[in-house]
Homo-oligomer: A and B are copies of this chain.
């Protein structure tokens, strides 16, 4: 191929810029030109009044001073229309018009669906896993995950200091709607006492029991790491709980949130419990060294695959080696290490009762 495109789609992740840079510079080294499309798949639809709002030619200089920047300078957005084939075909026409022969799509699960569709319609595509959630089972790591862990650990460290000073329990919500990887790894790395993830059923009563037991063991403060999506695997009967404990009558049983979970834990355990939601902070920040390295290796490989006229693949890392798998075989999912980690957290936090 002589000309390819690149875009970032879905939630932004630190390291996306490093991946774009690697795609661009590998292409230029191989005498290929690169067009950067803006706002994910929206850029392919070319609906802006000003063409420059949809795409631009990327040179060596365009990606200078970008490797260490968070976010994505190509911007990102959801594109609901792109689920429809007529818009996918519009994109194919636009790409052909611009002479773009292949496309690198950086993002998560949703991004890969779009990439697969384009590939099916005749534009060879390569997916690069750019998402902090680490929720793609075919690769050990996704770009942004390592940075998100470090950011979460730094934040939790700050919360722990104030927790210690006040002898409180802190329940800290981290990202992860369907995948508990951020929560699990963060909890392990921070020495958290407890964690809740969507993959493992849990009850508030049990958590409260364990908090009481931790206090008995002399713990002055405790950290509970809570994955956004952990409410999915909550087994407690909240209405029954609230009926049993009249003080909990203000709890909304329809819209239970992590701060209400904290309230119930406080009530059941007798320990002051405060909720903190890390939120968008986790997505930002200069990418870690490992994320920059991973992004650069994956970006280079993606460009080489298109150079060699291969498409329909997702690149990833397994056991420190760059791999590629068919986009059609990629599925959302979690990783095998989870059981080892979740057991180790219990051992390390000295929260298992023998």
Q: Please tell me which one of the listed residues B290, B320, B352 contacts residue A146 in the complex, with CB atoms under 8 A apart.
A: B290
Question: Is there a chain B Cβ closer than 8 Å to A334's Cβ?
Answer: no
**Partner-binding segment picked from A197-205, A224-232, A237-245, A292-300:** A292-300
Q: Please tell me which one of the listed residues B164, B166, B297 contacts residue A344 in the complex, with CB atoms under 8 A apart.
A: B297
Closest chain B CB from A295 CB (angstroms) = 10
The answer to whether B280 and A348 touch across the interface, beta carbons within 8 angstroms, is no
* Alpha-carbon gap, A285 to B159, bound state (A): 8
Question: Is there a chain B Cβ closer than 8 Å to A274's Cβ?
Answer: yes
Quick one: closest B residue to A350, CB to CB? B60
Question: Is there a chain B Cβ closer than 8 Å to A76's Cβ?
Answer: yes
* Alpha-carbon gap, A25 to B29, bound state (A): 41
Which A143-176 residues have a C-beta within 8 angstroms of B? 146, 149-153, 155, 157-167, 170
The answer to whether B280 and A279 touch across the interface, beta carbons within 8 angstroms, is no
The answer to whether B352 and A280 touch across the interface, beta carbons within 8 angstroms, is no
The answer to whether A320 and B140 touch across the interface, beta carbons within 8 angstroms, is yes
Closest chain B CB from A193 CB (angstroms) = 11
Given contacts A162-B283, A166-B77, A167-B77, A61 and B185 within 8 Å (CB-CB): no
* Alpha-carbon gap, A93 to B28, bound state (A): 45
Question: Is there a chain B Cβ closer than 8 Å to A55's Cβ?
Answer: no
Question: Is there a chain B Cβ closer than 8 Å to A177's Cβ?
Answer: no
Closest chain B CB from A8 CB (angstroms) = 8
| Chain B residues near A285 (CB-CB < 8 A) | 158, 161
Question: Is there a chain B Cβ closer than 8 Å to A289's Cβ?
Answer: yes
Question: Is there a chain B Cβ closer than 8 Å to A70's Cβ?
Answer: yes
Which A319-354 residues have a C-beta within 8 angstroms of B? 319-321, 337, 340-341, 344, 347-348, 350, 352, 354
Provide a sorted-by-A list of 30 A–B residue pairs whose CB atoms are within 8 angstroms: A8-B165, A12-B162, A16-B165, A26-B347, A29-B347, A39-B167, A61-B218, A69-B161, A70-B161, A70-B162, A71-B162, A76-B165, A77-B167, A150-B150, A150-B288, A152-B289, A153-B289, A158-B281, A159-B281, A163-B280, A170-B280, A185-B289, A189-B296, A274-B280, A276-B279, A278-B281, A288-B288, A300-B344, A300-B347, A320-B337
| Other 18 A-B pairs with CB < 8 A, given A67-B189, A75-B220, A318-B320 | A16-B165, A21-B348, A22-B348, A29-B347, A60-B350, A70-B161, A71-B165, A75-B165, A140-B320, A150-B289, A153-B292, A158-B284, A161-B285, A162-B284, A185-B293, A189-B290, A276-B279, A300-B348
Query: Which 9 residue pairs of A and B lie closest in terms of their CB atoms, listed nearest first?
Result: A319-B319, A158-B284, A149-B289, A71-B161, A71-B165, A70-B161, A12-B165, A189-B289, A67-B191
